Structure 1
Amino acid sequence: MATQKSTQVPDVTRRSARSRRAIYDAALALVAEAGYPRTTIEGIAARAGVGKQTIYRWWSSKAEVLLEAFLDLQEQAVEAQGQQDTYAIPDTGDLAADLKAVLRATVDQLYDPKFEAPSRALAAEGVVNEQLGREFVAKLLEPSLQLYVDRLRAAQEAGHVRPEVDPRIALELFVSPVAQRWLQYTAPISYDYTDSLVDYALYGITPR
C-alpha cells in the first residue's frame, strides 16, 4: 500500500525569524567580547550558524546589523518591563523627581553590559559613517528626546516651567552632559551627578 507523501510546506517565515534572532544575538555578543573593530560579518555568521549570504541578503554592513540588533534589544527590554510606551517619562506632578528618576534609569542602562558595548560602538561609528549616524539619531535618540520634550511641555501647561522656555533647548541642560561624560570617559556617572544636573537646570546656580 502506497503511503501519501507529506505536502506540508516549510515555514520560511519562522525560519527567517530564528535566523534573524541568532544574528542579533551573535552581533551583540561579539561586539561585547571583541569590540566593534574586530567584529566582522564572517564572525557574526559563524557565531549565528548562518551563511554570510544570509546576512548580506538583509543588511549591507555590520553597522546595520548592530543597529537593528540594538533596536531589537531595547524593544525586548520594554516588553520585559511591561511598558506600553517606550521609556515613558512619568508625570507625578513633581518635575524634578520625574526627571531624576528617568535619568537614574538611564545611568543603569548605560552601564548595563548588554547595552553599553553596542551603544558605544554605534555612537562612535555614527561619527564617521554619515548614513548610520542619521539612522542612529532618528531611530534611537530622537524618540527618547521627544519624551523629554513632551514631559517639559506638560510641566509648562501645569505652570511648573516658564511658558517662554523652549523644551528642546532645556532638555540639553541635563541630557547633553550625561552623554558627553559617558562617551568621553571623563568621569563616572552617578545618581548624585544626574540629580545635580536636574537641580542646576531647574533652579540655576545663583543664590535662591
Structure 2
Amino acid sequence: PLQESTEGVAVDYTVTITNNTPSAGNVALAVTGLGDHSVSLAPSLPVPANGSASTALTVTPQAGPRVFGFAVTGTTDNGAADSAQATLDVVGLRTVGVSIDPASAAGGRGSPAQFTVTVTNTGTLSDTYTLDVTVPGGWSYELSRNGTAVSSVNLQPLAFNSAELLLTVTPPLGATPGSYPVTVNAESTQVAGVQGSDTAQLEVLT
C-alpha cells in the first residue's frame, strides 16, 4: 500500500503474518529500504498454528521529498521467509516564518516608524505567501520591497529562501500616546492554514 506523509510526521502500517502450518511459531521481522527514516517495529511476532497475527510498523520520515519503496520480511525459526512491499511518499513540507525587527519602535503622532520584516520559507517547496498587516484602527501603513509596495512574496526553499521588507507605520495625528501592537502575517497561497506571524510594538510619543 501507498501512504503519504511529511518530514517528522509519523505514519502507521499494519504488518500481518499468516501461518498456514499446524505448528505455532515465532517469526522474526525486518525492514529494508527505510534507512533514512526512524522505524519502530517489533523484532518478532508469535503466530498461532493455522492462523495469523498483526503488529504495527511506525515510520517517521526524516528525509524527502521523494517516494521510498520498502519491504518487510518475516523469517520463521526454520528459515522459511516471505516479504511484502509498500511505499511511503514523503511530500514536500510547507512552512513559513515571519520576524519583525526591532521588536519595539517609537513614533510620534502623524510621524512614521519603520520596521524590517523578514519572511522566510522554512519548508521544502517553493511557495507564494500573501502578506497581511494589522495595525490599530485609523492608522496607515505601507509594506514595500526595494521601494515597491507589495502584498505577497514568492520564495524558494533552502538557498535564497527569505525576503526582507520595509514596513512603515504611521499613527494618526490624534493617536493617544502609548504602546500599540503591529502584526504581520504571511500565509501560503497553496495550502490554507500554512502561515506564520510576528508582532512588534509601536510606542506613540507625546
User: TM-score, normalised on structure 1?
Assistant: 0.28
- Greater radius of gyration (CA): 2
> Relative to total residues, which structure has the larger strand share, 1 or 2?
2
User: TM-score, normalised on structure 2?
Assistant: 0.29
> Relative to total residues, which structure has the larger helix share, 1 or 2?
1
